[in-house]
Chain A
Amino acid sequence: MKRTLYVTTLAVLLLGSHATPARLYAQAAPPPAKKASAIQVLMITSDEVKLPAEFQISLYENLIQQLEKQGGFQHVYREGDRNADAASDLVVLHSTVRGFKKGSERARNVTTVSGKTSIDIHCQFTDKDGKSVLERDLNGKVQFFGGNLRATLDFAKKAAKLAHDNFAANSVS
């Protein structure tokens, strides 16, 4: 009887020791991304950082252009678009500026190494109910050629790729 109890306890312990890491691995792995046919882009917010208006608009417009260019979504809706209400599988992109350094095009042209413009943005994708499905920090920068607003295009390309890879219906991953 004692022996049976000992074997059972050992078996339970062994099973537990194998099952626990598996469960931990399952928790650590990201949940499978939800595919969506439409995406809505909200205006970029900057509560903590003072962002010039032209950068805010340029970020927003470039983001929409790049999402349309990348494809994968049937519709790319703007903030406030009433047609987005009808979309069943919609993801909403919220972007918040966390850091901004306005460099100098003149400094970049003259010195090559200084004058970098960079923008750090926290991107949060939510479903229609507001539940977060993906969060990521992205960066846009311009180091050599082009005006300061080119940093917004760099960010937009990265954000559009992130959205395409995780949510677009015809994405590879």
Chain B
Amino acid sequence: MLLRSMGVATIFLLGILNFTVLPSIAQQPAAGNKAVQITGLVGVKANTSGNLTLQDGNLQFASSGAKVSVPIHSVEDVVTENDSQRVFRGTLGTLTMFAPYGGGRFLSLFRSKIDTLTIQYRDTDGGLHGAIFTMPLGKADLFKKDLVSQGARTSIPVQDDSSNSNAKPGTAKEKKP
């Protein structure tokens, strides 16, 4: 009886693990950074989420619909900053604005901090492009370091940039109401 109960419990635990742990392992990106492309990349819609990686001398942004590569040597400037965004955004965020009794206003108080990564690069004709990405807090500086170490240029050296963002975050973040 006891063995049977233990067997059932084991199967139950394995079932839970199957639904929780295993998918999270499978969903982990292969050494990439989850990022949202705000604007700038040719062929990618604004506010598209995807994976930002550095591969074979290219900066690659891969989303479900498109994959864009930018040669790292063509990147002329990389700048990181801090910002914040609404937790409830997009269509849901707009709908919450119509919630009764000021519910939308209350929900808009919930904001999450994010890093922004801005790059400037040249295309094959010499045309200047810019692209803006947002990524989880603390990821942009590390990504910039990797980018610069692989040949990208920056107007703000990596150490200064990170100390800058730590020293006076108020300049980059939104003012509190």
| Cβ 8 A contact of B128, one of A80, A104, A109 | A80
Mask: chain B, 113-147; 1 = CB below 8 Å from A; 0 = not: 00010101011011111111000000000000000
CA distance A104 to B111 in the complex (A): 12
Q: Which residues of A contact B175 (CB under 8 A)?
A: 102-104, 107
Q: How many residues of A contact B (CB 8 A)?
A: 32
CA distance A111 to B132 in the complex (A): 29
| Cβ 8 A contact of B129, one of A56, A77, A78 | A78
B86 contacts A104, C-beta separation under 8 Å: no
Interface of B is mostly: strand
Q: Is residue A148 within 8 Å, beta carbon to beta carbon, of the partner chain?
A: yes
Q: Is residue B63 within 8 Å, beta carbon to beta carbon, of the partner chain?
A: no
A82 contacts B128, C-beta separation under 8 Å: no
Q: Which residues of B contact A61 (CB under 8 A)?
A: 39-40, 129-131
A43 contacts B128, C-beta separation under 8 Å: yes
Q: Which residues of B contact A80 (CB under 8 A)?
A: 122, 126-128
Q: Which residues of A contact B32 (CB under 8 A)?
A: none
Q: Which residues of A contact B39 (CB under 8 A)?
A: 57-58, 61-62
A104 contacts B108, C-beta separation under 8 Å: no
Q: Is residue B4 within 8 Å, beta carbon to beta carbon, of the partner chain?
A: no
Closest chain B CB from A85 CB (angstroms): 10
With CB as the reference atom, state the residue of chain B lying closest to A79.
B128
B177 contacts A81, C-beta separation under 8 Å: no
Q: Is residue B97 within 8 Å, beta carbon to beta carbon, of the partner chain?
A: yes
Closest chain B CB from A76 CB (angstroms): 10
Q: For window 47-100 of chain A, which residues contact chain B by CB distance below 8 Å?
A: 52-54, 56-58, 60-62, 77-83
Q: Which residues of A contact B132 (CB under 8 A)?
A: 54, 57-58, 149
A57 contacts B118, C-beta separation under 8 Å: yes
CA distance A120 to B34 in the complex (A): 34
Instruction: Give A residues with C-beta under 8 Å from B.
Output: 43, 52-54, 56-58, 60-62, 77-83, 102-107, 109-111, 114-115, 145, 147-149
A53-B81, A57-B132, A106-B176 given. 16 additional CB < 8 A pairs?
A: A57-B130, A58-B38, A58-B130, A58-B132, A60-B128, A60-B130, A77-B127, A78-B123, A80-B127, A80-B128, A81-B127, A102-B174, A103-B175, A106-B174, A114-B177, A149-B132
The 5 closest A-B pairs by CB, nearest first: A57-B130, A109-B108, A78-B127, A107-B177, A81-B127
Instruction: Give B residues with C-beta under 8 Å from A.
Output: 38-40, 77, 79, 81, 83-86, 94, 97, 104-105, 108-109, 111, 116, 118, 120, 122-123, 125-132, 172, 174-177
